[in-house]
Amino acid sequence: MYRRAVLVLFFCLCASVFSLNAQQGQSATSGAKTVVDKAVSASDSGQPLKTVIADVEKAAEAASSVDDRRALYAFLGSLQEQSGNYTNAAQSYAIAAGISANTPQGMPAVSAEQLFINAIRCALSAGDFVTAENYLASRVRSSTDPVISASVRLYSVWSQLCQAASDSALKEPLETLRGYSSSPVMESVRPAALLSLWYLDGDQKSADALLKDYPQSPEAAIVSGKAAMLPAPFWFFFPRKGEAVAAPKAEMPPEAAISGNSGTRAARQQVGLFRGETNAKQLVSELAARGFKGDIQTETRSSGVTYYIVSVAENARGTVGPALRAAGYDCYPVYE
């Protein structure tokens, strides 16, 4: 049901792209609508999300009109993000953002700037801070849309926080977040800024402000304990107060691991890589709450830095990786 809800929600958000063109007597993007309808139907019938994504990707590459191509790449990005494939999701969103397409008059549309914001979010979730910074420096930087501008500022701070390697490196972005939490021009992202301050710094004033000013928000539900924080990877990159260390991007992407071990079953799925043991233990606890047994291994690199690696043992059927991704965790197969 959750998968269908996401598919239907994105379909509704992109209604303008799939609207009827009365002058032509048919849908201007009937091809895209057909693909989305088929994807929703396939998801309802239990078809693996991986297969649904592959079909949508083929359709996007083969789309004959720019309207179809843009709509399908945007839709593909949402599916890839849902599956935990953040690197490809960022690329798909960026491709969609770079395509100029017509939107039927009077219908809402997903703007190119919003698609770039989606791409930035996914790049951060993948730990690809270079790409995130490149997107942040793109045309969205000078956006005249106050909501987009606020998102750019917030994501810029999040990127700094993810890469913080010392307590001193935390000071400036935390002060910036505090300023954002009280700035009228940042109102659209104020709940996220307050949640970040509470999560990073244990700031009870931020939690109280969320509960008072945004009692029905998802952020308020998280601080009140009524909801669990979605385990989006970039939250794990955030250092808590007193542990200002960044979790670096995994050195070997999943594609490289798979291609280099054709025919070999993964021994375990790597879920996190940290420089701080506290964050690693937190991830193990959150995995346990979702029914996964996480283990922590340490590895000291030639640089002298010790990393804490969180992984979950793969089973004989190879279903642990897909289960982790379905639960919202990005994971990488490890072969032994």
Can you give the residue ranges of every domain in the chain?
Answer: 2-136, 143-150+163-237, 254-334
| Residues 111, 93: Cα–Cα separation, whole Å | 11
Q: What is the pLDDT of residues 296-310, one digit of tens each?
A: 988 775 556 677 888
Residue 287 corresponds to which tokens in the numbers above? 């995995």
The mean per-residue pLDDT over the stretch 173-188 comes to 92
Q: What is the pLDDT of residues 277-327, one digit of tens each?
A: 888 898 899 899 989 999 998 877 555 667 788 889 988 887 888 888 778
Maximum alpha-carbon separation in the chain? 67
| Residues 57, 141: Cα–Cα separation, whole Å | 29
Percentages (nearest 5) of helix, strand, coil residues in the chain: 55, 10, 35
| Residues 332, 268: Cα–Cα separation, whole Å | 8
Residue 22 vs residues 25, 27, 105: alpha-carbon distances, Å: 5, 8, 11
Fold of 2-136: 1.25.40
The residue whose two tokens read 């914001």 is: 117
Q: What is the pLDDT of residues 66-100, one digit of tens each?
A: 888 888 888 899 888 877 788 899 999 999 888 87
SS3 call for 206: helix
Share of the chain above pLDDT 70, in %: 74
Say which range, 33-37, 108-112, 115-119, 301-305, has the weakest mean pLDDT. 301-305
Higher-scoring residue by pLDDT: 124, 201: 124
Spatial contact of 190 and 174, defined as CB atoms under 8 Å apart: no
With 0-12 / 13-18 / 19 or more C-beta atoms within 10 angstroms meaning exposed / middle / buried, residue 20 is middle
Q: Phi/psi of residue 142, each to 5°?
A: -105, 25
Q: Which residues, in sequence order, are CB contacts of 172 under 8 Å at separation 6+?
A: 160
Instruction: Report whether CATH 3.30.70.1070 matches the domain 254-334.
Output: yes
Spatial contact of 233 and 279, defined as CB atoms under 8 Å apart: no
| Residues 190, 167: Cα–Cα separation, whole Å | 24
In this prediction, residue 153 carries a pLDDT of 93
The mean per-residue pLDDT over the stretch 128-140 comes to 85
Residue 264 corresponds to which tokens in the numbers above? 């070999």
- 3-state SS record for 14-56: CCCCCCEECCCCEECCHHHHHHHHHHHHHHHCCCCHHHHHHHH
| Residues 140, 11: Cα–Cα separation, whole Å | 24
The mean per-residue pLDDT over the stretch 271-275 comes to 77
Whether the per-residue pLDDT at 139 is higher than 90: the answer is: no
Looking at residue 294, its amino acid is G
The residue whose two tokens read 């690197």 is: 87
What value does the mean pLDDT of the chain take? 75
